[in-house]
A = this chain, B = another copy of it.
Amino acid sequence: MENKTRAKLLEVATELFATKGFSAVSVRELTIAAKINISAISYYFNGKEGLYEAILKDQLAPVLQALKEVQHHISESPIARLTLYADQIAYIHAQRPFLSRFIYSEVTNPTEYGRPIIENHLSQVYQFIDTTLREGIAEGSFRKDLNVTYSAVSLVGILNFYFIAKPLVYKIFPLPEQADNESEYVAHAFRVYLYGVMNSTAKQGTT
């Protein structure tokens, strides 16, 4: 029970920053929503920016973790490694429903603090995909006429876009909200992508 105020503030601020963006949220709004005193933000986080930084760091922690995890599987095949990456994306986004909003916010409208962090994260992701695609091409699994950079962007786009578009998509196509559609979508999208980049002579065994 030590830090109920701090915890409540983090919880409320995560949702508000995610949905409205950093600048559109005021500290008053935060403290009213969290039902805490206005001075608590300075007390615990040294101001609004400190609070945002703490939240961003917390949100991105599992992404860094996942990247390290994937790096430990260099011995596996390129396709297996990309599959592992896709699985982790589904898992992480299922755990953190606001993560994609923070990332997209920082990509489209970077904050001073967030920009270098996001750049570093995405850079690592692209390096990993780039390397893995090159190996897959050399190995003969992927088509050799692929532009590796473009293919890397395509993979990130096809896997991640769902998480930001989700509320909109469910508004347009009222599907049954089921338990684990994150991983269902990612599996589906990853299959489309794999079929799209694979060498046509080797097109089996991916379901």
Q: Would A189 and B150 count as touching, CB distance under 8 A?
A: yes
B153 in contact with A169 (CB, 8 Å): yes
Considering only CB atoms, which chain B residue lies closest to A108 in the complex?
B104
* A184: chain B residues within 8 A (beta carbon): 150
Q: Which residues of B contact A105 (CB under 8 A)?
A: 108-109
Residues from 97 to 122 in A contacting B, C-beta threshold 8 Å: 100-101, 104-105, 107-109, 119, 122
Tell me whether chain A's interface is mostly helix, strand or loop, or mixed: helix
Interface residue A161 (Cβ < 8 Å from any Cβ of B): yes
- In A147-172, the 8 Å CB interface with B consists of 147, 149-151, 153-154, 156-162, 164-165, 168-169, 171-172
Which of the listed residues A108, A126, A173 has the most CB atoms from chain B within 10 Å of its own CB?
Answer: A108
Sorting the interface of chain A by its residue count into under 10, 10 to 19, 20 to 34 or 35 or more gives 35 or more
Query: Which residues of the other chain, B, contact A169 by a CB distance below 8 angstroms?
Result: 126, 149, 153
The answer, yes or no, to whether A71 is at the interface (CB within 8 Å) is no
A165 and B107 in contact, given A158-B158, A173-B130 (Cβ under 8 angstroms): yes
State whether A20 and B109 are in contact (beta carbons under 8 Å apart), knowing that A195-B195, A200-B203 are contacts in the complex. yes
Within 8 A of B (CB), among A1-33: 19-24
User: How far, in angstroms, from A127 to B169 measured CA to CA in the complex?
Assistant: 10
A73 contacts chain B at the CB level, 8 A cutoff? no
Given A127-B172, A192-B196, A194-B196, decide whether A156 and B151 contact each other with a Cβ distance below 8 A. no
Interface pair B109/A24, CB less than 8 Å apart: yes
- A-B contacts, 22 of them at CB < 8 A, read A21-B108, A22-B24, A100-B108, A105-B108, A107-B164, A107-B165, A119-B171, A122-B165, A127-B172, A130-B173, A150-B162, A150-B188, A151-B188, A153-B189, A154-B162, A154-B188, A157-B161, A193-B196, A194-B196, A195-B195, A195-B196, A195-B200
